[in-house]
Structure 1
């Protein structure tokens, strides 16, 4: 069953599958989960995929689900993209599968990307270059981007500060410089058929994301990772005006509850005619669910 846009009230484009349904939590990632939970003041236990679907179905919100493949930099075993794709196929009324492939995997990663799109129904990709330890403009990732662009799919790039590694010794080895939005600008230029979603308000480089979304027709912004009550003022300003068709709802679940995000957004200063566009319409267009 495909997603019935009339039956849902929102599309959350930023939901993490952080533990497998079959394997125990990775002990390397556990240290990062500890730190992120403390930073976000969120529950430490990570929900498994059936629980995530139950939460979102109850709220009437469709969602994009993905893991973060950071195997080469962090040394943590990823949740399988194939597991996520199979789960999404069984919950196609509410769940949209995204994949994450470590850019260091280059051409082998491109092979996996193509298989996931052609045979497993994957509808987009997620990159977290801070966790993956690589500049998003590094040419080793080009073969993966080429596949994404060929199919005209969206790719989410983490931007700005990261809760992953915050307060850990040496930031857990995470280099924040790879979260600077302008590093994605070369990708946007060289792959104009790839829809690029800059995740989060991108602090402390918020204005870079806003500039890129204004300048590039294939660049969008998801508003995940922060409660709207803490958004930099220019986010609200541009969402209400020039970028009202470029902003997407995202929560960053399980670290931020989508219901709490929505409640805060209703008090954050978004115009009444703009918030519904951000909550559902823009994502439906970017994801190819509507024209």
Structure 2
């Protein structure tokens, strides 16, 4: 289990990659290499979960890690949630397991989620509306959300534009409209006890995201996917004021390394007394680690 007193930060947003990296039949390698070019990622092939754990251990940072199940919409095979959980358990000094289930699976998704929470210690679930092709406030996902609310799990939603598919023909078939953070306002109303994280600075809907997070007590923002040096001024202002307890460090590993993110974070105008909360304490409280 992560010792919160020993790690210097908690990265709330990292991606699990398949150990085999075998995607010659479904196009996933092409997607990954294109995305790595978009982000300028410093690797030729995505790291495995054990390699991710080793990197975070070396950096003395804990990390929430998850796959993305988007088989129905993309055709890319999903990484088994049980395998992610098992590998995270082998590295539980630094890794905190989340899972991912395509919400289009409906009641099947709800049953799988409850089993993963109870049998595998899954703490939350990653949703990617653009990759999974759904509006977060679509009622077909509500049985799934109900399980997460009942079990005290976290729902982490991609918001805003995505590097996934960027520059590929037709954006690789991915539609940005699904990831407007305003759709999460309905979810926050209908599930007031569900802990919701909106991932990323939500370009081009940054003000919508700030509005939802400020208005709904159960909604948070993670700051992953962008180097802090590119944060819009209004986001920095809210980090320093009304949302100082509701913003969370996230890197989007392996596209952005945590050390690069933290180095750039040191250079932006965040009040010194708020930095420990943003890089560690806010996430620790949300995850029930303190």
Return the TM-score normalized by structure 1.
0.97
Match of 2:256 in 1: 256
**Farther off after superposition, 138-147 or 115-124:** 138-147
The equivalent residue for 1:166 is 166
Q: What are the superposed Cα offsets for residues 97-119 of structure 1, whole Å, 9 maximum, x if unpaired?
A: 00000011110111110110000
Matches within 5 A, 1:69-218: 69-218=69-218
Assess, with a 3 A threshold, how the Cα gap between structure 1 residues 261 and 70 changes in structure 2: closer, same or farther: same
Say what the alpha-carbon RMSD is for the aligned residues.
1.0
Q: How many Å apart are 1:25 and its aligned residue? A: 3.7
Is residue 35 of structure 1 aligned with residue 34 of structure 2? yes
* Partner Cα separation in structure 2 for residue 263 and residue 72 of structure 1: 38
Q: What is the aligned counterpart of 1:24 among 22, 25, 32? A: 22
User: In the TM superposition, what whole-angstrom CA distance separates every residue of 1:40-69 from its partner, at most 9, and x where no partner exists?
Assistant: 111341000110000000111000010110
> How far 1:22 moved relative to its partner?
4.9
Residues in 2 aligned to 1:18 and 1:57: alpha-carbon distance in whole angstroms: 18
Tell me the CA shift for residue 288 of structure 1. Answer: 1.2
**Matched residue of 2:12: which SS?**
strand
Compared CA separation, residues 44 and 202, structure 1 to 2 (3 A): farther
SS at match of 1:146: helix
SS of match in other structure, 2:27: helix
What 5-or-longer segments of structure 1 have no aligned partner?
A: none
| Count of residue pairs brought into register by the alignment | 288
Q: Distance in 2 between matches of 1:96 and 1:164?
A: 24
Q: Deviations over 1:3-30 (max 9, x none)?
A: 11111000000000122x3562463222
SS in 1 for 2:261: helix
Cα distance in 2, alignment partners of residues 199 and 211 from structure 1: 14
String of CA shifts for 1:147-169, please: whole Å, max 9, x gaps.
11001221110000100010111
